[in-house]
Structure 1
Amino acid sequence: MVRGVRGRWTWCGALLLAGTLAGGVSGCGPGVPSAPGGPTSSTSAPAPPSSTTAPGTPTTNPQPSEVLVEVVVNGGLAGVRNQLVVHYDGSWTSRAGTKPPRTGKQTPAEVAELRAALEDPAFALVPERPTGSPIPDGFQYYVTYHHRLVVAGDGERPPALQRVFAALPEGGPPTSP
């Protein structure tokens, strides 16, 4: 436990210290820092649910500005570190290294397709960690949806994950440097 303001030990301080010692907390996955010069991950501090649900269960009435999905891509020959954040209203922001962010908005049909791919029961069965050998100079993909993080590498994209990638803005995860 950590000693509080008046000399008392507090559980909150102990949990904060434990999280820091364990490598920090991020919505992007373990060891994935926020984009250089960019804001911290919008999924690192979850928004309060709009209805009473169990953790990890989709809310029935999400706010348009809430994050629907976040995809972070690391690796490749150029050593990229890119991020794509899509909100429930279809607005999205893509960051590639230190370049200025790009923004856009999906059509309602495109958002519906992305949500269907994310809510597909097959996507819930995608392993949370890579299961095979990494491909040299390949990409690693960190997909966060409803506080569930899925990490996949090149060559490890099950059809359900590939369906999510196909429904993302600009043709999939941002892999360009």
Structure 2
Amino acid sequence: MEHVVRRRRVWGAVPAVAAALVLGVGGCANADAPPAPDGGNSATSPTAPAAATEPRSGAVLVEVTVSGGFAGVDNRLVVREDGSWTLRSRDKEPRTGRMDADGLAELRAALEDPAYARVPERPSGRPVADGFQYTVTHHDRTVVAGDDERPAALQRVFDALPEGGPPTAP
């Protein structure tokens, strides 16, 4: 039911946007739509989520954050559906790259493996002192693990990540 409401909001904005374009009127806004991060209207902004029929090349395939450790690491690796990736560390300039087709296929296979779907979403043991905490988000599922609990299916995902695994360097 919620999906239908969202479609109505977007489709409800289409006539107003079309009229604004034809008349050359700027600043059209849909009062029902939340503001976009760039200050525009999310129903008409280029930063709005892509419709199901549009290509998902910019969509996030997996996001891995690493925190903790002796040096207080706070890193974030985002791999997109098209294989492009961005690594952000606390004080460093972001690094970017693109996975090759084989590497991307390996990562997808690891994420879609039924064994990965059975990896617990939260660690059950005690955290390792000065250890890392890994948070892996793929679609709507988030898995949190520590240095002491890395099931084989999660390790397979880590091994398939660009740059040799989760970003643990400060």
Letter in 2 for 1:113: E
SS of corresponding position for 1:161: helix
Q: Which amino acid aligns with 2:103?
A: E
Q: How far apart, in 1, do the equivalents of 2:148 and 2:118 lie?
A: 17
Could you say which residue in structure 1 is the equivalent of 2:154?
161
Encode CA deviations 1:64-120: one digit per residue, 9 max, x unaligned.
111000000000000010000000111000011121000000001110000000000
* RMSD (Å) for aligned C-alpha atoms: 1.8
In the alignment, the residues of structure 2 paired with residue 152 and residue 100 of structure 1 have an alpha-carbon distance, to the nearest angstrom, of 26
Same amino acid, percent of matched pairs: 64
**Greater than 2 Å deviation, 4+ residue runs:** 45-51
Provide the rounded CA distance (Å) in 2 between the counterparts of 1:49 and 1:162. Answer: 33
- Structure 1 unmatched ranges of 5 or more: 1-44, 52-60
Correspondence list, 1:55-66, <5 A: 63-66=56-59
CA distance 1:46–1:116, shift in 2 (3 Å): farther
Distance 1:77 1:170, change over 3 A: same
Partners of 1:129 and 1:151 within 8 A in 2: yes
> Deviation string for 1:36-58 (max 9, x for gaps)?
xxxxxxxxx9945626xxxxxxx
2:129 is the alignment partner of 1:136: yes
Gaps of 5+ in 2: 1-46
In 2 relative to 1, CA 64–134 (structure 1 residues): closer, same or farther, beyond 3 Å? same
Question: Are positions 1:77 and 2:70 aligned together?
Answer: yes
Do the aligned residues in 2 keep the contact of 1:140 with 1:154 (CA within 8 Å)? yes
More helix by share: 2
Residues 117/49 of structure 1: CA separation in 2 closer, same or farther (3 Å cut): farther
User: Aligned partners of 2:136, 2:48: CA distance in 1, in Å?
Assistant: 15
> What CA distance in whole angstroms lies between the structure 2 residues aligned with 1:117 and 1:88?
14
Q: Give aligned pairs, total.
A: 124
CA distance in 1, matches of 2:143, 2:117: 9
Describe the shift of the 1:68–1:156 C-alpha distance in structure 2 as closer, same or farther (beyond 3 A): same
Aligned to 2:93: 100
Residues 4-23 of structure 1: per-residue CA shift (max 9 Å, x gap): xxxxxxxxxxxxxxxxxxxx
**Partner AA of 1:140 in structure 2:** Q
Name the amino acid aligned to 2:76. Q
Alignment pair present for 1:120 and 2:116? no
3-state SS of 1:142 partner: strand
* Contact kept in structure 2, 1:62 and 1:88, CA below 8 Å: no
**What's the secondary structure of 1:109's corresponding residue?**
helix
Amino acid of the structure 2 residue aligned with 1:90: G
The structure with the larger Rg is: 2
